[in-house]
């Protein structure tokens, strides 16, 4: 109780003292309000509003009852400022404080120590009062880091969303000028790069140095849902795809001179890992791919063209060894077209559907198509792998020197000749074939025909 | 004379023998190598016309073997049409033949707005052309130049299909290009985090800040650029000008003191900065001399003329000042 009495007494004394020093409010119209006695501080800051510096307070204030020193604004809402500051709100998107006529949320109408009469030392500090865009970010975009929001944003109104000073990509390229120049030389440009940089990047900053909204593969999956489905649901998955930043091992995010936005040629990318044996788990080891090619003279087309994705689905597959389509893993298979979808991706299916041909293949005796003869059998059709090494061999047409048959390495003994060839395999008796002068097989035992 | 005739006859006979031997070998292999002549052929197009390719027509030829049943062939067809379209008028010197083994090629054409110029789609369902060229897989592209010499045989539809085919087509037509065709498949990617790119970004941002009158922030940006490449003349010159704009003449002099530039325009900018800074420091005579030198090297430097105007104004040489200001304004506004 005593404490309250004490506080009230102190307050009363303070009021009496301050009244004693206070200047009497004028009770008649004055030339200006900014004098040494009254409102002096308005004229003493580094930046003074035009009418204040001219002492023309009536530009904005209209005296109401001079005797009572009351006044009202000359105009209402944003009309007060727009009377002089024309067209600040003329564009499509208007900053909310301006829209509601609350210019004083960002500007001191009399004077300020800061440029543009803003009440904060920097533009960023001012914007941050409402827009907390940098909270918790470890890496800031250049303009954000230096507090220059108006490098990208208009403060009053704009024709572009987010009060940007230009359309998204155009704005980004105004600083990232090298990239824009470079892009013209590239055939393959990532779609967002053309007009939606903020599809991937946070323009204010992020928790990572590239300022991407999320790390790959999660960021990539926001658009590439088909790849996500393959990567996550395939029977055979490519482990690197799901790794953090895994996509970036093979792809470049902006533009490449080659398809699929690859970082390097496809084989080099694959050999980043497959130049050494890869542990597939459950005691299974995938041999080093390079070992298969070492010293080999004849390469399968896609290998020769450095295009592993010619046969392999790089993100995930329903077929073993991440093959793109069906391909029989065994030596014998009853012939069904569907079993060879992988090979038919490049080679004509007529190769094994046509019994006679004069042009389709060199592996024929006269016009008898020997591919058809070997593969197209109801029961024990030979699969492609029976005779061809998948990646490379030392024989023409990447024909195998031998093929594993149970525990035995079955030799093929292929010998190429000018108009045909011969085989001395473990499968049948040695045989020749000749495109020009067909070998007569009629005398051969039925088993060998 | 007779002896000469005999020698000539023998030479021709020998040549014919060698050629027949060579052709037999080729026929047996049903193939050819890069450097050989493109085989002459004749085949019917899908719209019933006969297309004939003969040597010595002074035209390049691209033969593309496709199989409409294959997805990759359809993509290759679209790419081929795009490449040919981009050639514009030069495409008239190129004949493109797409040989398909199935007449179901509607997709090839509907994906484009009508096939590009000089593209002929041939039906090769009996694999005659296929056999003649020794094709074993699709897509396969064979390109010959205007001398009918095969310069490219590319099988498959890999990641580098577009740049490689475009480069060989350009070579066939004798068009100048930056990269040799055999290197066209080398992968190049855009990277905006090289030092050069980052430096450029800082300089650009500094320019934007300068336009907004935020000199100190602009200076900070250029200093970041200089940290990336302390030897960048462009960054040093920008910084020097900014220091002058911000009234920091001593700092401007310090920056350019050790700077060595080679180009005429850079030399002019260097003199401008020196003159501008000296004018601010009140050394009017030195400043005048430097700025006159700057305008000699770059008569279009409006800033140098403006600064000269200020010097003449300070020296109360009003006519010269007016003349300088007028020249500066004319350069800016025309």
Cα of A72 to nearest chain B Cα, Å: 35
Which of the four pLDDT bands, split at 50, 70 and 90, describes residue A50? very high
Q: Do B156 and A265 touch (CB under 8 A)?
A: no
What's the pLDDT at B29?
36
Determine if the peptide bond prior to B21 is cis (ω within 30°).
no
Touching check for B231 and chain A: CB below 8 Å?
Answer: no
Residues of chain B positioned with their CB less than 8 A from the CB of A177: 200-201, 204
Q: Which residue ranges make up each domain of chain B?
A: 28-183, 193-246, 261-334
The architecture that CATH gives domain B193-246 is Alpha Horseshoe (1.25)
Q: How many helices (H) and strands (E) does chain B have?
A: 13, 7
- A363, A409, B227 from A426: Cα distances, Å: 19, 9, 71
Choose the mutation target among B39, B65, B159, B218 for the interface with A, i.e. most A CBs under 10 Å. Answer: B159
The minimal CB distance from A178 to the residues B130, B200, B213 is found for B200
Q: Do A178 and B70 touch (CB under 8 A)?
A: no
Intra-chain end-to-end CA distance of chain B, in Å: 81
Cα of B46 to nearest chain A Cα, Å: 20
d(CA A196, CA A399): 50
Residues 31-60 of B with CB under 8 A from A: none
pLDDT > 50? residue B20: no
How confident is the prediction for chain B on average, in pLDDT? 86
d(CA A6, CA B182): 96
DSSP alpha helix (H) spans, B174-248? 195-211, 215-228, 233-245
Q: Do A309 and B159 touch (CB under 8 A)?
A: yes
pLDDT, greater one: A448 or B251: B251
Residues of chain A positioned with their CB less than 8 A from the CB of B23: none
Residues of chain B positioned with their CB less than 8 A from the CB of A306: 158, 160, 185
Percentage of residues of chain A with pLDDT beyond 90: 60
Mean pLDDT, range B283-296, rounded to an integer: 97
DSSP code for A91: S
Tokens, residue A179: 């990239």
Choose the mutation target among A126, A164, A257, A397 for the interface with B, i.e. most B CBs under 10 Å. Answer: A257
Q: What is the pLDDT of residues B159-177, one digit of tens each?
A: 999 999 999 999 999 999 8
A215: how many CB neighbours lie within 10 A of its CB? 17
Percentage of residues of chain B with pLDDT beyond 90: 58
The CATH homologous superfamily for domain B261-334 is: Tetratricopeptide repeat domain (1.25.40.10)
Intra-chain end-to-end CA distance of chain A, in Å: 121
Distance of CA B102 to the CA centre of its chain: 38
Q: Do A174 and B136 touch (CB under 8 A)?
A: no
Q: Do A256 and B154 touch (CB under 8 A)?
A: no
Mean pLDDT, range A226-240, rounded to an integer: 95
Q: Do A254 and B190 touch (CB under 8 A)?
A: yes
The minimal CB distance from A257 to the residues B25, B69, B187 is found for B187
pLDDT > 70? residue B7: no
Q: Which residue ranges make up each domain of chain A?
A: 2-87, 332-448
Touching check for B126 and chain A: CB below 8 Å?
Answer: yes
The minimal CB distance from A148 to the residues B128, B186, B209 is found for B209
List the single range of A78-87, A174-183, A330-339, A409-418 with lowest mean pLDDT.
Answer: A174-183
The CATH homologous superfamily for domain B28-183 is: Glutaredoxin (3.40.30.10)
The residue among A419, A412, A449 whose CA lies nearest residue A433 is: A419
> Count of A–B CB contacts within 8 Å?
157
In this predicted complex, what is the ipTM?
0.74
Q: CB within 8 A of B74, min separation 6: which ones?
A: B66, B68, B107, B108, B111
d(CA A166, CA B146): 49
Choose the mutation target among B126, B152, B158 for the interface with A, i.e. most A CBs under 10 Å. Answer: B158
How confident is the prediction for chain A on average, in pLDDT? 89
Backbone region of residue B134 per phi and psi (left: phi > 0; alpha: psi in -120 to 50; beta: other values):
left
Residues 175-204 of B with CB under 8 A from A: 185-192, 194, 196-197, 200-202, 204
Q: What is the pLDDT of residues A260-294, one digit of tens each?
A: 999 998 889 999 999 999 988 778 888 899 988 88
The chain A residue lying nearest B137, using CA atoms, is A347
pLDDT > 90? residue B87: no
Secondary-structure breakdown of chain A: helix, strand, coil percentages, each rounded to the nearest 5: 35, 15, 45
pTM listed for this prediction: 0.77
**Intrachain domains B193-246 and B261-334 with the same fold:** yes
The minimal CB distance from A175 to the residues B191, B204, B213 is found for B204
d(CA B207, CA B222): 9
What's the pLDDT at B8?
47
Question: Helix, strand, or coil here: B53?
Answer: strand
What's the pLDDT at B10?
47
Cα of A362 to nearest chain B Cα, Å: 8
Mean pLDDT, range B29-41, rounded to an integer: 82
Touching check for B133 and chain A: CB below 8 Å?
Answer: no
Q: What is the pLDDT of residues B260-281, one digit of tens each?
A: 999 999 999 999 999 999 999 9
What's the pLDDT at A122?
87
Cα of B17 to nearest chain A Cα, Å: 18
Which of the four pLDDT bands, split at 50, 70 and 90, describes residue B27? very low
Which of the four pLDDT bands, split at 50, 70 and 90, describes residue A11? low
The minimal CB distance from A360 to the residues B131, B187, B214 is found for B131
What's the pLDDT at A282?
77
The minimal CB distance from B201 to the residues A142, A347, A349 is found for A142
The chain B residue lying nearest A348, using CA atoms, is B137
Choose the mutation target among A116, A152, A165, A175 for the interface with B, i.e. most B CBs under 10 Å. Answer: A175
What's the pLDDT at A33?
84
The residue among A279, A448, A307, A433 whose CA lies nearest residue A364 is: A433
């Amino acid at each position: 109780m005593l404490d309250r009495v004490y506080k009230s007494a102190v307050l009363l004394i303070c009021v009496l003292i301050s009244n004693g020093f206070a200047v009497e409010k004028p009770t008649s119209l004055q030339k200006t309000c900014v004098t040494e006695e009254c409102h002096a501080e308005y004229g003493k800051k580094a930046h003074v509003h035009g009418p204040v510096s001219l002492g023309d307070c009536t530009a904005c204030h209209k005296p109401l009852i001079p005797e009572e020193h009351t006044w009202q604004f000359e105009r209402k809402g944003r009309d007060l400022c727009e009377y002089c500051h024309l067209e600040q709100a003329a564009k499509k998107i208007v900053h909310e404080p301006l829209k509601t006529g609350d210019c004083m949320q960002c500007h001191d109408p009399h004077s300020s120590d800061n440029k543009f009469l803003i009440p904060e030392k920097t533009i960023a500090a001012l914007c941050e009062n409402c827009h907390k865009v940098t909270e918790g970010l470890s890496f800031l975009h250049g303009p954000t880091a230096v507090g220059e929001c108006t490098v990208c944003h208009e403060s009053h109104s704009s024709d572009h969303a987010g009060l940007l000073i230009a359309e998204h990509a155009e704005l980004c390229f105004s600083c990232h000028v090298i990239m824009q120049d470079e892009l013209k030389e590239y055939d393959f440009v990532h779609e967002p790069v053309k007009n939606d940089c903020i599809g991937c990047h946070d323009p204010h900053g992020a928790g990572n140095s590239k300022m991407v909204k999320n790390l790959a593969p999660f960021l990539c999956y926001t658009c590439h849902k088909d790849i996500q489905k393959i990567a996550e649901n395939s029977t055979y998955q490519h482990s690197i795809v799901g790794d953090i930043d895994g996509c970036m091992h093979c792809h470049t995010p902006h533009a490449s001179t080659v398809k699929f936005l690859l970082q390097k040629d496809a084989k080099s990318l694959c050999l980043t890992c497959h130049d050494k044996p890869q542990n597939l788990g459950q005691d299974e080891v995938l041999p080093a791919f390079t070992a298969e090619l070492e010293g080999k003279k004849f390469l399968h087309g896609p290998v020769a063209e450095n295009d592993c994705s010619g046969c392999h689905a790089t993100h995930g597959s329903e077929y073993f060894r991440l093959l793109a389509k069906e391909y029989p893993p065994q030596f014998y298979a009853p012939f069904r077209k569907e079993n060879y979808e992988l090979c038919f991706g490049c080679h004509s299916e007529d190769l094994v559907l046509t019994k006679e041909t004069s042009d389709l293949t060199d592996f024929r005796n006269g016009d008898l198509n020997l591919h058809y003869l070997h593969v197209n059998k109801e029961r024990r059709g030979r699969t492609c792998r029976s005779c061809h090494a998948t990646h490379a061999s030392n024989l023409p047409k990447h024909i195998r020197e031998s093929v594993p048959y149970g525990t035995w390495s079955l030799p093929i003994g292929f010998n190429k000749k000018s108009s045909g060839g011969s085989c001395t395999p473990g499968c049948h008796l040695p045989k020749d074939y000749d495109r020009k002068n067909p070998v007569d097989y009629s005398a051969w035992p039925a088993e060998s025909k | 004379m007779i002896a000469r005739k005999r020698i000539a006859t023998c030479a021709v006979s020998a040549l014919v023998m060698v050629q027949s031997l060579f052709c037999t070998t080729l026929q047996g292999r049903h193939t050819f190598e890069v450097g050989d002549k493109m085989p002459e052929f004749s085949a019917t197009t899908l719209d019933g016309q006969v297309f004939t390719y003969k040597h010595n027509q002074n035209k390049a030829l691209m033969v593309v073997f496709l199989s409409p049943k294959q997805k990759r062939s359809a993509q290759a067809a679209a790419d081929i049409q795009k490449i040919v379209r981009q050639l514009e008028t030069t495409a008239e010197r190129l004949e493109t033949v797409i040989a398909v083994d199935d007449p179901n090629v509607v997709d090839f054409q509907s994906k484009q707005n009508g096939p590009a110029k000089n593209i002929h789609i041939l039906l090769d369902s009996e694999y005659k052309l296929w056999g003649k060229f020794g094709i074993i897989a699709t897509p396969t592209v064979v390109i010959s130049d205007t001398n009918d010499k095969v310069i490219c045989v590319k099988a498959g539809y890999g990641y580098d299909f577009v740049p490689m085919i475009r480069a060989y087509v350009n070579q066939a037509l004798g068009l100048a290009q930056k990269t040799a065709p055999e290197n066209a498949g080398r992968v190049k990617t855009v990277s905006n985090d090289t030092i050069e790119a980052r430096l450029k970004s800082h300089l650009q941002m500094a320019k934007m800040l300068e336009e907004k009158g935020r000199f100190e922030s602009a200076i900070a940006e250029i200093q970041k650029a200089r940290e990336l490449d302390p030897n960048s003349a462009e960054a040093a010159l920008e910084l020097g000008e900014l220091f002058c704009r911000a009234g920091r003449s001593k700092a401007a002099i310090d920056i350019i003191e050790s700077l060595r530039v080679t180009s005429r325009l850079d030399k002019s900018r260097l003199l401008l900065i020196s003159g501008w800074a000296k004018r601010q420091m009140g050394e009017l005579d030195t400043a005048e001399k430097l700025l006159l030198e700057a305008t000699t090297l770059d008569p279009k430097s409006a800033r140098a003329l403006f600064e000269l105007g200020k010097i003449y104004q300070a020296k109360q040489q009003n006519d010269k000042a007016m003349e300088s200001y007028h020249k500066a304004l004319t350069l800016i506004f025309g």
